[in-house]
Amino acid sequence: MPPQLVATHVGSQTIGGGITSDRYELDVPLDWFDQSSSDTGTIVVSYRVVRGESSAEDKYIAYLQGGPGFASPSPTAASSGWMKAALDKKYSIVLFDQRGTGFSTAISCRSLEAVGSAADQAAYLKHFRAPSIIRDLEAVRQALGVSTWTTLGQSYGGFLTFSYLSANPEALKASMVTGGIPPCPGMGMSADVVYASTFKRVVRQNQKFNDRFPTAAAMARRVVEHLSEQEGGGVVTPAGNLLTPRSFQLLGLSCMGFSGGFEKLFAMLEAAFETDGVLSYAFLKEFDHTLAFDTNPLYAVLHESIYCSGGGATNWAADRIRSSPEYRELFDAVHATAAGKPVMFTGEMVFPWMFDEIAELRRIKGAAEIIASETEWSTLYDPDKLRSNAVPVAAAMYYEDMFVDFALAESTVGMTNGLRTWVTNEHLHCGLREAGAKIFGKLYDMIEGNELVR
């Protein structure tokens, strides 16, 4: 770790109730792993330290956000939920914007275009994966002068946790994970294996949605029928996106796997049309608002690569699984509509045609194609270190999680020493957001030994 990395204090914020937040920035290498070239440059990594009146000087917990490509939550949420629970346990909370997000040299489609050619953009994006994020975290930890800290990883933040356990376990006092145990690290993990499993979970969520709202299937078919009849195959939304039958199915990402999602989707379908049979402006605008691919392009471009550890191209794995004999007709919205069957909404999947139908993503289509065909990927996990792990780890596993396949996560549980799990069907993937204090308290008691092994 270069000794010259010194954090700059950017500003302070008073949250209320004795809670304060200070934001810092660090200049770190774009490329941590090959600094022999003088033109690799640096990027900014930003983080906030949130403290309560009882926070101990040397007790820190670093929050690892889900994603990839999403900024850390605002410190203004610290008066409730898991943050309040952590402050009550005397932690100082480190809210870390992963590189490329928030205040950490944020990536947009526009900023990517400025990098250069599609090949230049793809090469740049490869520096925004887990190994680099872990190095950034280590720079933050050392800038704080902390010998060890605890981490809390939500969703993709859990994947980062296992990379951290593989690369720098000596920096970790303990780790908590919510809905984020990666599938089979070092055991034949691939994007194909992941999507072959998660598509089954998506089908199940669709079935539950249609059981919950029996009239929704007909409403969805009406939307698909309308879209397929339009010149050009769809309707242009207020944001300039092309809403087609297949992009309509993308609503499943936000509406199938989160609390309140079923209700939100049904409400959208119920009010989809104006009285003259045209899709309403409100529906089209809500479609734009519900999708976050254009405002978080890192997610769109790098998502499949989070399953690439040590080599092998994804070649648009989700799209290939969707096109397989098992799912081809099931997820063909036009075919389902003609046959009077339910329209199947998709989940946490990225498809190549999104870079044509989502307006902002058209700007980085070339880079996305290169990333999808890339075969050289850094290793994300060390199975041997996980098997000999000595860091206390507690994980909440959501049995009906649509995004993290339970069976694949179980394989990782079996190979990680010192990992305790709490399996529940009371929560979906968003459990930490809806019941943060409860979940944090449970995992805290597990890593502290307050809850006996049984």
- Domain boundaries defined on the chain: 8-188+380-447, 191-373
In the structure, what pLDDT confidence band is assigned to residue 252 with cuts at 50, 70 and 90?
very high
Question: What does CATH list as the number for 8-188+380-447?
Answer: 3.40.50.1820
Compute the mean pLDDT over every residue in the chain, rounded to the nearest whole number. Answer: 95
Percent of the chain with pLDDT over 70: 97
pLDDT tens-digit map of 359-408: 999 999 999 999 999 999 999 999 999 999 999 999 999 999 999 999 99
- Residues 164, 386 contacting (CB under 8 angstroms): no
- Region of 154 (left: φ > 0; alpha: ψ -120 to 50; beta: rest) is beta
Q: Which two tokens stand for residue 304?
A: 């499949």
Mean pLDDT of 72-90: 96
Mean pLDDT of 292-321: 94
* Amino acid 454: pLDDT: 77
* Amino acid 1: pLDDT: 45
- Residues 297, 112 contacting (CB under 8 angstroms): yes
Q: Looking at the predicted structure, is the pLDDT value of residue 343 above 70?
A: yes
Mean pLDDT of 10-26: 96
* Amino acid 184: pLDDT: 79
**Is 158 in a helix, a strand, or coil?**
helix
pLDDT tens-digit map of 175-199: 999 999 999 776 667 899 999 999 9
In the structure, what pLDDT confidence band is assigned to residue 3 with cuts at 50, 70 and 90?
very low
Closest CA to 68 of 435, 360, 350: 350
Q: Looking at the predicted structure, is the pLDDT value of residue 291 above 60?
A: yes
In the structure, what pLDDT confidence band is assigned to residue 39 with cuts at 50, 70 and 90?
low
Task: Give Cβ neighbours of residue 384 (< 8 Å, ≥ 6 apart).
Answer: none
Q: Rounded to whole angstroms, how far apart are CA atoms 35 and 40?
A: 7
Q: Looking at the predicted structure, is the pLDDT value of residue 37 above 80?
A: no
- Residues 153, 176 contacting (CB under 8 angstroms): yes
Percent of the chain with pLDDT over 90: 93
Mean pLDDT of 101-130: 97
